[in-house]
Structure 1
Amino acid sequence: MPESRQIESDLKAYSSQLEAQLKSKYADYQAKAEAYQKGASTMTEVVRADKEKELTGLQNSIQEFQRSADQSLQQKQQTLLKPALDKLQKTIDAVADENGYTYVLNSDGASPVLLHGPKEGDISDLVLKKMGVTPGAAPAAKAAPATTPAATPVSTPTKTKTKSKK
C-alpha cells in the first residue's frame, strides 16, 4: 500500500527521537557514574551515599523510560496502521461482496487467516463459553479476525481462496 512507506518513515523518525532521548539519559548516567568512581575515595560517607542514591535513581529512570518508550512506540504504530488496515479491510469486504465470496482467506503464512466472513458465522463466543471464559470478559482473546497483527507490515494479500455461493 502506498501508505506503508509513510508509516514506516514516521515510525522510524519517532523511534529515532526516543533512541536519542535514551542515549542522552544514558550518557548523563555514565558521566555521573565516572565522576562518582573518580571521587568516591575522597567523599564523605553522606556524600557518597547521596551520589549512590542519585545513580540508582538515574538507572531506574532509564529503565522506566525504556519501558515507556517501547509502549509508546507500539501505540504510535497501532495509531498509524489503523487507517491503512481499515482501508484494506473495507477493500477486501467490498471485493468479496462484489464477487460473491462468502469467505476470504490469506494463505501466505503457515496457517490461513480469515480476512472476510459473515458475522453470523463467528463462533468465538461459543468457543469461549465452552472453554469456561465469559465472552466479553477478555477482550484481547477475541480479536477482529479480519485484520493482520499490528506488528506485521501492511501488505495486500497475495493469495486468496474459497468461493462459495450465498
Structure 2
Amino acid sequence: MMNKIKTLVVAFLLISFASFAQTSDKPLKIGYTNVEYILLQMPESKRIESELKTHSTQLESQLKNKYSEYETKLQAYEKSAATMDKVVRDDKEKELMNLNNSIQEFQRSAQASLQQKEKSLVDPVIAKIDQAIKDVAKENGYTYVISNQALLAGPEDGDISPLVLKKLGVDPTKVTAEPAATKPAAQTPAKTTTTPAKKSSKKKN
C-alpha cells in the first residue's frame, strides 16, 4: 500500500516558502524532511492501510467469483461442445466471450477503484502534513524546506521531521522507523489471479 502512496506525495517532496524570502538581515536557512516517513509514523497510516486492505479483499473476492463462474462454464462447454447443436454451441461461445470480457473490465475497474480509494484516504493526511511543514518552517525561520530524498549532504540539525511530527501530535521520541522502513505491498486485485483460459475448442459446423 505505501509504495503506491509514494506517487501521491511527489507534489510535496520539494516544498519552497516564497513568503520567507531571504532579506539582508535574515540569513538563508534550509531545512529538510521526508513526507513519506512522517506519514508512516502517523496513526492515520494504519487506518489507511486497514481500509485499503478491506476494500482490496472485497474486490478480490468478487473477481474470484467471476473466474469461478467462467471456469465452470468453460469446462462444461469443452465437455459437451462436440455434441452440441451449432446454434447452442455458438450461444455458449458467445456467453464465454462475454464473461471473459466482463472479467477483464472488472480488473480495470477494480484497479481504478483501489487507486481512487487510496487517493481519497491519503490526500487529506498529506495536506495536513504539508500545512505542518509550512508552520514549522515559519515558526523556526526556515527559508526553504526540501525533501531529504533530494539531499546529498546536510547537517543533522537541518532535519525538521521531529518538529513536524511534534506539530502533528506525534511524539518523535517514540518514533523508531527509518524513512524507508516497512512499506506493506499494495493489494492489486486484478493481477493476483491467472488470466482466464482461452477456449481451446474450435467451432464445428
TM-score normalized with structure 2 length: 0.53
Q: Separation in 2 of the partners of 1:102 and 1:7?
A: 32
Displacement of 1:42 in angstroms is 1.3
Q: How does 1:90-105 map to 2 (within 5 A)?
A: 90-105=131-146
Q: Residue deviations 1:13-46, cap 9 Å, x none? A: 0000000000000100000000101111110111
For the pair 1:55 / 2:74, whether they are aligned, the reply is no
Code of the aligned partner of 1:78: K
**Of the candidates 45, 49, 53, which is equivalent to residue 4 of structure 1?**
45
Corresponding residue number in structure 2 for 1:69: 110
For the pair 1:32 / 2:73, whether they are aligned, the reply is yes
Corresponding residue number in structure 2 for 1:42: 83
Code of the aligned partner of 1:101: Y
Q: Separation in 1 of the partners of 2:76 and 2:122?
A: 45
Q: Residue deviations 1:78-116, cap 9 Å, x none? A: 000011111111110100110111211121x3x35xxxx
Displacement of 1:157 in angstroms is 9.6
Question: Aligned in 2, Cα 1:38/1:53: closer, same or farther, shift over 3 Å?
Answer: same
Which runs of 4 or more aligned residues in structure 1 lie more than 3 Å from their structure 2 counterparts after TM superposition? Answer: none
Q: What 5-or-longer segments of structure 1 have no aligned partner?
A: 113-155, 159-166
TM-score normalized with structure 1 length: 0.65
Q: Separation in 1 of the partners of 2:100 and 2:143?
A: 55
Secondary structure, counterpart of 2:143 in structure 1 = coil
Code of the aligned partner of 1:7: I
Corresponding residue number in structure 2 for 1:87: 128
**Of the candidates 54, 58, 61, which is equivalent to residue 13 of structure 1?**
54
Q: Separation in 1 of the partners of 2:99 and 2:51?
A: 29
RMSD after superposition: 1.6
Q: Separation in 2 of the partners of 1:47 and 1:103?
A: 71
Q: What 5-or-longer segments of structure 2 have no aligned partner?
A: 1-41, 152-176, 180-205
CA contact (8 A) 1:25 1:62 kept: yes
The total of aligned residue pairs comes to: 113
CA contact (8 A) 1:106 1:157 kept: no
